Amino acid sequence: MIVTLKDAQGSSARISVEHGFNCFELLAKVDDRTVDVISTLPGFEETGERPSGSGIPLLFPFPNRICEGRYSWEGKDYELPSDTVGFDGTGNAIHGFVIDRPWRVTSQSENSVTGEFQLSQDAPDRRKLWPADFVLNVKYTLNSASLRADITILNPDDVLLPWGLGTHPYFKLPFGDTSRADQCLLVAPARAQWDLIECLPTGIQNSLPEELELAEGVYFGESKLDDVFSAEPAEVIECVMIDEPAGLQVAQRSSGLFRELVIYTPPNRDAVCFEPYTCVTDAINLESQGVNTGLQVLSPGESLSVWIEIEAGLVLA
């Protein structure tokens, strides 16, 4: 099932309900130009193949990896089987439980749609793999050249719910018809970089190297990235991709709870991923080692809401 959103100004978005409630297309109208914002691999719409490689994958109850798919919580050991959840090429569970399963549409209008995913209902084979049941509710609203996701996490269980949330948007570069991807400037409010061994944080954070002063901007053509950063604390976290020759930009803003940021430039593809996370990779393991990871915990019956917005526009002088 594909849901198409339309705006009176001429923007549109498409969401694959069957494949993780993934917004795999966003065409944003900026004056008389249409900006094709999101990169999607051929065939995703039909097959959902490689769900982490297209559109805006939703990552929950953990973003990125859990080391070897094993963790402990409240004195109980858990192991995620590779035949039930996604794993990377080095033996780590990756990207959570909601990315590759059908969701349920609970409401819809011309420019908005709400999807819901409950672990015990929509992936019952995965329920025993997490300490508590959860409900994830996502409302997409298209307004002019902006797509906003309002996200609510609910704990319907009678035990504590540990969780982390992230998205993995693929932004297509460039934004203009005649400009090049390597002319696009990438700007992010990164203040520190997590030390990684094979994509897993050691728990140590380092200062940014000179070549990665992301707050000043780096050009897409000069940096190949697959790194985890901590953002400067703020009520709104903003990352911007600027196509200077075209005079166009795309900004991604999120609520301040998204304190971590993965930046990834996939190989052989003119795209960049600015991935907002509420916690760092492997948070549920690092937290038990005394690392401040951003791991969230909801008590029974509690809920929490956050938001992410993507907006295309003109570059302001």
Q: Is the pLDDT of residue 317 over 80?
A: no
> Residue 222: pLDDT band by 50, 70, 90 thresholds?
confident
Identify the CATH assignment for 2-314 out of 2.70.98.10, 2.130.10.10, 2.40.50.100, 2.30.30.240: 2.70.98.10
Q: Which pTM value belongs to this model?
A: 0.96
Q: What is the arithmetic mean of pLDDT over 116-127?
A: 98
> Residue 210: pLDDT band by 50, 70, 90 thresholds?
confident
Lowest-confidence segment of 32-41, 205-214, 300-309 by average pLDDT? 205-214
Q: Quick one: which of 115, 155, 152 has its CA closest to 131? A: 155
Q: Is the pLDDT of residue 12 over 80?
A: yes
pLDDT tens for 63-104 read: 999 999 999 999 999 999 999 999 998 999 999 999 999 999
